[in-house]
Amino acid sequence: MTEDFEHDVTEGDFLEEKSKSQVKRELQELKDLGKALIDLSVKDLDKLNLSERLYELIIEAHSMTHIALKRQVGFIGSVMVHEDHQAIQQQLNKLRQAHNGQVRAFHQLEQWRDDLLAGDSQVMTVLRNQFEEFDIQHVRQLVRNANKEATQNKPHKSARLLFKYLQQCQLEQDK
């Protein structure tokens, strides 16, 4: 009769079991991933391959505050246990990398504009080498107009136009 209740314990049984602390850490990671997804805009969420249920829970969380949001994050974490959360994390990382690249490019354009307005002639050479269709005369005119507007305390229309022109040059180069 004792043989009916015996269970052969193997090494594999111990390898599959997780400690309570490990389970809590993994659930916290899923909650953190859920928080990161909630912080995304709807436009960015649409770029991710999320299940319909998870997507709806995240959209609902956008309108929640404080305790309700905390509860929703916990619920999203529990739903993500059944999702391919590693694939979601990879997609989120790719989205963040793309976003960081766009931010760096935007800051570079701002820096070039500021350097041009400050009179740095080396930037003009760098830009001419960087962009094939770079119109030096047009940029010089925009810089002159921007400096004139600044001395007369007028709106910075030419500085904005200079930034847009640099942005256009960068977009044409990326094509």
- 141 occurs within a structural domain: yes
132 & 168 share domain: yes
Predicted local confidence at residue 10, as pLDDT: 46
11 & 74 share domain: yes
- 157 occurs within a structural domain: yes
At which of 52, 83, 114 does a domain end? 83
129 & 165 share domain: yes
| CATH code of residue 24 | 1.10.60
45 & 74 share domain: yes
Q: What is the DSSP letter of 132?
A: T
Predicted local confidence at residue 2, as pLDDT: 45
At which of 24, 49, 83 does a domain end? 83
Cβ neighbours of residue 50 closer than 8 Å, sequence gap 6 or more = 37, 58, 83, 88
Average pLDDT of each block of 10 consecutive residues along the chain (175 residues)? 46 64 92 95 93 96 94 94 93 92 93 94 91 93 94 93 94 82
74 & 106 share domain: no
Domains held by the chain: number = 2
165 & 104 share domain: yes
114 & 79 share domain: no
Dihedral in degrees, nearest 10, Cα atoms 80, 85, 89, 92: -60
12 & 78 share domain: yes
Burial of 130 from C-beta contacts in 10 A (0-12 / 13-18 / 19+) = middle
28 & 75 share domain: yes
111 & 170 share domain: yes
Q: In whole angstroms, give the CA distance from residue 126 to residue 113.
A: 12
- 93 occurs within a structural domain: no
| CATH code of residue 168 | 1.10.60.30
Predicted local confidence at residue 16, as pLDDT: 63
Range of the domain at 113: 100-174
Predicted local confidence at residue 5, as pLDDT: 45
25 & 79 share domain: yes
